[in-house]
Structure 1
Amino acid sequence: MKRSVQGVGGAALMAVLLISCLNSGFYFTADLYPAWMLYGLLLFFGGAAALIRHAAASGNERVGPASFGSVSETLWILSPFILMTVYAFHWLLGPLSVHGTVNQLLRWWFYGLFAVSAAAVVRRKGGQRVLAAAWHAAGALLCGSALLAVCGVLPLPHAVVFSSNVGISASGARLAGLVEYPNTFGMLMAAFLLERLFALLRHEPGAGEARLLRAALPLLPYAAALLLSESRGAWLAAGAALAAGLALQRRRSLAPLLLAAAAFAGAALLYRQLAAASLAVRPVPGLLALAGGWAGSMLAGLGVCRLARSGAASRRRLAWAAGGILAAAGAAAVFLTVQERIVRNFGTVTARGAMYRDAWRLFGQAPWFGQGGETWRFSYRAVQSNPYVGSQVHSGYLDMLLNTGILGTSVLLLMLAAAGVILFRRRRELLPAYAVFALHGAVDLDFSFGVVWLLMFLLAARGLSDQTAKADGVLVQREEDGEPSYERAGKAAGGSRQRPQLARSRHRLSALGTASLLLLWLGLTGGGVWLAFRGEMGHRLHEQAMAETSQVQAAALLRSSLEWNPADAGTALELARRLPPRDAETVLKRSLSYSPGHPGLLFALADNAVRRGDAYAAAFWTEAGFRRDKYNAGEQTKSLEGLFRLARRKLASGSVTEARRTVAAGLALYDEYVRRAADSSRAQVRNDREFGLTREARIWGRELARLERSLPVSE
């Protein structure tokens, strides 16, 4: 029974990881809700079963072996729950966005449970193989599906991202795979590639050829997928991690590197062929090119590896020379393809620099504790120094600074450091793959993908040994002669035993602590399942409303959605469009209490005030909208039109004072709009939002000025 439960736990862990790959890497929290519920329920019932077993065992004063991990393990396990707690405090204190904060709380809650599960699985017999299988299954799914999509075999609509901008893509197309974002996909391929490469270097010098070939088999697909992503950041992170990993190699045979050199050359050749076709080839030619490059690289690698392992020094030198030529040829092939983008086009780097400067100023508003989940997403329009598009700050560490301040970021850094220490001590060959995650997350939005954190926790858990409890200074429980006793690990087997009475007392305290932990576990999983269920119900009802043709029925569904998830501003906006002005105002204001400063809500309230004829509210909300979304030409133009029409209605009804107030507000906002558009044009900055003074805005500005001149001096 116990073994079957453990087997189910390992299978569930693998299933969650694969589901995350199939759902855009859990980038969208709505995709996480169903997985949270199913996985959480499984963990809840598993914890309940463990509590029942524990209660039965406690009656006989027998408890299973208990162990206390090292400081690094404890810190690694607790950190996700500490970050979850930080977001919980933000939720209670009133964050910038309740919806974003709850989303982040649920994410770290989920990551923490996954980490605990991975640590529990790896300590069981065969657990290392289970985690390794989960890692390789995720890599095979991500890489295989992407390459099959390029070859036209597997229809994945968003697996390839097309762009005619040379600064974004040298070939006009980039591979994004199931995660649908090339940079993160490239980083993942780099991590899987380095994990296989350094696993290859672990083989003893006398390892058989068949064993080496099996270990080297995934190198070409991972390398090809990495190159096809055209992610310069992923390439740099992979290079830095590779150099650091090779520096850590001690008295290891480096001959398997020749297999890697051959695989890289084959991947580079395949990259040039597929890039020339803009990653759109027919199935038969595509599969033939993939199979030919794969087989050729394996044969070439085997040949040079044989030479390197021969007894003659001349043959070994020839092998290394051939390996160097293969690596150089591959690098040259790649460089000639992306030369223009690498040497001259740094538009994305410049845009990131602007984001980082703006984010740093935003960080200064709440440096110690941050402003809650998804702070950048809800604030960047108000603080951006030029009209770039960037709902993500493109730095995981900076994003955490904005969300949780120095406090939360310190916890994050300690967690990453603890995982690094675990791997350094026990599975050093996994460090380069882990380093790719940590390095690339600093310059891109990788940490917004749930699959990235799941893989990082899985990688760190693979560094946990079945013999963790045997470290010096760690208390372990043993049973001798039918009675529990405790001794310091590292003592000789003949060490002194403690008195039976003291041992029993400690045993009871340990049993009480275990029962408390199990109860806490039940509370964590049960509470998370309920919160995820509410989010899923709200999301599902929202989707049903969007597909509903009847406006009355759609409004009813949206109301139900808000009952389940009242903090969702998108649902509130959709409902407000279907309601009379007074009812819509109530919905919008209630939603604004959950997301203070939300630009969409502010502009919707301004439009609602115009519809209701409230001149004061129209001016107030329009000004607030301009302030929170400085470079939204469409909404600002629409708001100017609304103010003009409202002022004209007020004048026609005889309310000259309100008309004058509305015109004055409109002209002031128009002048600000004109100034900002002129500043952006003169600065010649990146204008992803196509911000500028629209023709319609000029018309409404002139109409407002004409209306002002026609107003009587006094009412």
Structure 2
Amino acid sequence: MDVVIFFGIYLGVAFLFTLGSVLAVGGVLHAGTRRVDGFLIYLFPVMLLAVVVSTLSSGRNLSLPGALVGFGVEMGAGGAAKWLQRAVTLFLLAVSVERLANMAFGSRKADSPRALMVAFALCWVAVVALPAAFGTRPSFRHEYVYALVIGLAALTTTETGAQRAILFARNALVVFIALGLLLLVIKRDMVLSPYTGSWLPGFEWRFSGLASGPNAMGPLSLLCLLSLVSQPFEKRWLNRFAWGAAMVSLLLTQSKTTWIAAAACFLVLHLVSGSPFLSRWLSTPRYQLAAQVLLALLGLAVVALIYVAGANVFRTQFEALMATQQGTDLVTFTGRDQIWAIAWETFLRSPWFGYGPEIWDAYFRYQIGLPAAFHAHNQVMNVLAASGVVGTLAFSVYCVVLVRRIWPRLGAFNGLPAALGTLLVLRSISEVPFAFDSFGSETMVQMLLLMLVAGAKPRTDRARVPAHGQ
């Protein structure tokens, strides 16, 4: 009898949720037609709300050994958090469909990123759909479609919508960071994990905040700082508080890759926004080919470096250095060369379509004996292993089209597109910021960039030239 009552309650709740979802989708579609910018601009607040509820309901204790292994937004959460995640996903899909329908049946923008939309869609087909069907391990999950729908919808954003998206992202990130810092006093073990290799004297921990880990919290803290540069608060005290909280959070994460990315991003912001000569040079069609060639050469150099690390080429030359722990960490990127080697071997087994989207799941990690390897720790190696040559070529085309779209808009929104592009490129060296088979907190930076390049106006050659003698 108890079993019957339990399943009756469960089915009743599921039915009510389904009914409410249908009504919510219909309401969103109807309300979105009356709003020029739609509701996708609320991406950051709803996503970060799901992260906050998931982390708080998980009751995690980072002081325990291996507490961060396997923890994520979708793991360790209570029932309420899971239902909230489903509601957030449904909301984002509904508002994305509304944006796409509005674009299909409404008037076209003169500068809409149609080429980038096609490149993004083809990239998804080659990186996700084809490997899911023809890879080493065929699979299908409805989550694969989320990034495609939301990414295409992000490319319909208007200029005012992009400005509002920055504001909502800024406000949500400030609250998210402040709550994480507040837990340092209330529940320290939920946000701090022990760290023996600390770079901060007397502070032997790493700050995860309410994110899934320090390497996830670091980029969010940096993104908050970049959004404050683009759209500062009008009230001076609030702006100072936001800057202080974000900088403390970034420092306590002890994410060295994010620290390096922060230095590079602020340098790019200074050059793009503060140097009129360089800004005009980057936006002049006459020099675009030369700049793109330099970027391509830089990309080839990164790929060559990845191959050397993944294939263990010239390893004997570093034996003396690797005799020490510091040398080992430097050369192997704290053991990531082993993951790169596994990714390379996986690619060689299925060079055309790769392993498939299910690479790095629990089964694959069990096979390779690395429970903490959730990705290849490099964007190119991850695409190669998961999607093969076909996916890598499509991803390369997408990156080229994205760069061509960003190039004349580097200085838009006070240089934020240039900074976000720099952040994604640098994180691609040791992380996987471009995800096409799932949608989570890691993909928010890419989605914000797509919104900005869709809504930003290109800078023309007719730059303001001061009159002689002024």
TM tier, shorter chain? 0.5 to 0.7
Q: 2: distance between equivalents of 1:421 and 1:17? A: 29
| SS of match in other structure, 1:177 | coil
State the partner residue of 1:246.
270
Q: Offset at 1:390?
A: 2.5
Task: Please point out which of 385, 388, 398 is paired with 1:402.
Answer: 385
CA RMSD of aligned residues (A): 4.2
Task: Please point out which of 116, 121, 140 is paired with 1:81.
Answer: 121
Q: Deviations over 1:292-333 (max 9, x none)?
A: xxxxxxxxxxxxxxxxxxxxxxxxxxxxxxxxxxxxxxxxxx
Q: 2: distance between equivalents of 1:12 and 1:221? A: 22
Structure 1 pair 172/112, CA: closer, same or farther in 2 (3 Å)? same
Matched, 1:176 2:208: yes
Task: Please point out which of 119, 123, 127 is paired with 2:155.
Answer: 119
Unaligned runs of 5+ in 1: 55-63, 201-208, 253-340, 473-715
Tell me which amino acid in the other structure corresponds to 1:113: V
| SS of match in other structure, 1:133 | helix
Which structure 2 residues correspond to residues 229-628 of structure 1 after superposition, within 5 A?
229-251=253-275, 349-377=333-361, 378-382=363-367, 389-428=372-411, 429-430=415-416, 431-447=418-434, 450-465=440-455
Matched, 1:225 2:249: yes
Q: 2: distance between equivalents of 1:368 and 1:68? A: 38
Task: State whether residues 32 and 38 of structure 2, in contact with CA within 8 Å, keep that contact through their aligned partners in structure 1.
Answer: no
Q: Offset at 1:349?
A: 2.1
Structure 1 pair 85/3, CA: closer, same or farther in 2 (3 Å)? closer
Structure 1 pair 114/102, CA: closer, same or farther in 2 (3 Å)? same
Task: State whether residues 162 and 174 of structure 1, in contact with CA within 8 Å, keep that contact through their aligned partners in structure 2.
Answer: yes
Tell me which amino acid in the other structure corresponds to 2:167: A
Matched, 1:18 2:18: no
Q: 2: distance between equivalents of 1:17 and 1:50? A: 24
Q: Offset at 1:3?
A: 6.3
Q: 2: distance between equivalents of 1:367 and 1:218? A: 47
Q: Which moved more, 1:368-377 or 1:413-422?
A: 413-422
Q: Offset at 1:143?
A: 1.5
Matched, 1:66 2:105: no
Task: State whether residues 396 and 446 of structure 1, in contact with CA within 8 Å, keep that contact through their aligned partners in structure 2.
Answer: yes
Q: Which moved more, 1:399-408 or 1:448-457?
A: 448-457
Q: Offset at 1:20?
A: 4.9
| SS of match in other structure, 2:193 | strand
Matched, 1:92 2:133: yes
Task: State whether residues 193 and 205 of structure 2, in contact with CA within 8 Å, keep that contact through their aligned partners in structure 1.
Answer: yes
Question: Alignment identity in percent?
Answer: 17
| SS of match in other structure, 1:464 | helix
Q: Offset at 1:16?
A: 3.7
Task: State whether residues 369 and 407 of structure 1, in contact with CA within 8 Å, keep that contact through their aligned partners in structure 2.
Answer: yes
State the partner residue of 1:142.
176
Task: State whether residues 195 and 433 of structure 1, in contact with CA within 8 Å, keep that contact through their aligned partners in structure 2.
Answer: no
Q: Deviations over 1:248-284 (max 9, x none)?
A: 34447xxxxxxxxxxxxxxxxxxxxxxxxxxxxxxxx
Q: Offset at 1:227?
A: 0.6
- TM-score normalized by the length of structure 2: 0.62
Larger radius of gyration: 1
| SS of match in other structure, 1:463 | helix
Q: 2: distance between equivalents of 1:188 and 1:6? A: 28
Task: Please point out which of 130, 136, 142 is paired with 2:164.
Answer: 130
State the partner residue of 1:613.
none
| SS of match in other structure, 2:206 | strand
Q: 2: distance between equivalents of 1:243 and 1:5? A: 37
Q: 2: distance between equivalents of 1:66 and 1:7? A: 14
Q: 1: distance between equivalents of 2:102 and 2:403? A: 33
State the partner residue of 2:89.
36
- Paired positions, count: 352
Q: 2: distance between equivalents of 1:360 and 1:351? A: 15
Q: 1: distance between equivalents of 2:451 and 2:430? A: 25
Task: State whether residues 191 and 238 of structure 1, in contact with CA within 8 Å, keep that contact through their aligned partners in structure 2.
Answer: no
Task: State whether residues 379 and 430 of structure 2, in contact with CA within 8 Å, keep that contact through their aligned partners in structure 1.
Answer: yes
Q: Which has the higher contact order (CA 8 A, sep 6+)?
A: 2
Structure 1 pair 65/392, CA: closer, same or farther in 2 (3 Å)? closer
Task: State whether residues 97 and 153 of structure 2, in contact with CA within 8 Å, keep that contact through their aligned partners in structure 1.
Answer: no
Structure 1 pair 169/346, CA: closer, same or farther in 2 (3 Å)? farther
Q: 2: distance between equivalents of 1:342 and 1:197? A: 36
State the partner residue of 2:315.
none
Task: State whether residues 18 and 137 of structure 1, in contact with CA within 8 Å, keep that contact through their aligned partners in structure 2.
Answer: no
| SS of match in other structure, 1:397 | helix
Task: Please point out which of 217, 220, 226 is paired with 1:188.
Answer: 220
Matched, 1:102 2:148: no
Q: Offset at 1:343?
A: 9.1
Structure 1 pair 211/434, CA: closer, same or farther in 2 (3 Å)? farther
Q: Offset at 1:352?
A: 0.7
Matched, 1:166 2:197: yes
Q: 2: distance between equivalents of 1:409 and 1:438? A: 16
Tell me which amino acid in the other structure corresponds to 1:457: M
Tell me which amino acid in the other structure corresponds to 1:76: L
Task: State whether residues 123 and 391 of structure 2, in contact with CA within 8 Å, keep that contact through their aligned partners in structure 1.
Answer: yes
Unaligned runs of 5+ in 2: 1-30, 56-70, 277-324, 462-470
Tell me which amino acid in the other structure corresponds to 2:246: Y
Tell me which amino acid in the other structure corresponds to 2:89: W
Q: 2: distance between equivalents of 1:14 and 1:440? A: 20
Q: Deviations over 1:541-569 (max 9, x none)?
A: xxxxxxxxxxxxxxxxxxxxxxxxxxxxx
Q: 2: distance between equivalents of 1:166 and 1:49? A: 52
| SS of match in other structure, 2:430 | coil
Structure 1 pair 114/41, CA: closer, same or farther in 2 (3 Å)? closer
Q: 2: distance between equivalents of 1:239 and 1:15? A: 27
Structure 1 pair 466/403, CA: closer, same or farther in 2 (3 Å)? closer
Q: Offset at 1:217?
A: 4.9
Q: Offset at 1:228?
A: 0.2
Q: Offset at 1:403?
A: 1.0
Q: Offset at 1:210?
A: 7.3
Which structure 2 residues correspond to residues 201-216 of structure 1 after superposition, within 5 A?
none
Structure 1 pair 389/74, CA: closer, same or farther in 2 (3 Å)? same
Structure 1 pair 342/447, CA: closer, same or farther in 2 (3 Å)? farther
Structure 1 pair 381/10, CA: closer, same or farther in 2 (3 Å)? closer
Q: Offset at 1:367?
A: 2.2
Q: Offset at 1:80?
A: 4.1
Q: Deviations over 1:659-715 (max 9, x none)?
A: xxxxxxxxxxxxxxxxxxxxxxxxxxxxxxxxxxxxxxxxxxxxxxxxxxxxxxxxx
Q: Offset at 1:462?
A: 1.9
Q: 2: distance between equivalents of 1:46 and 1:246? A: 34
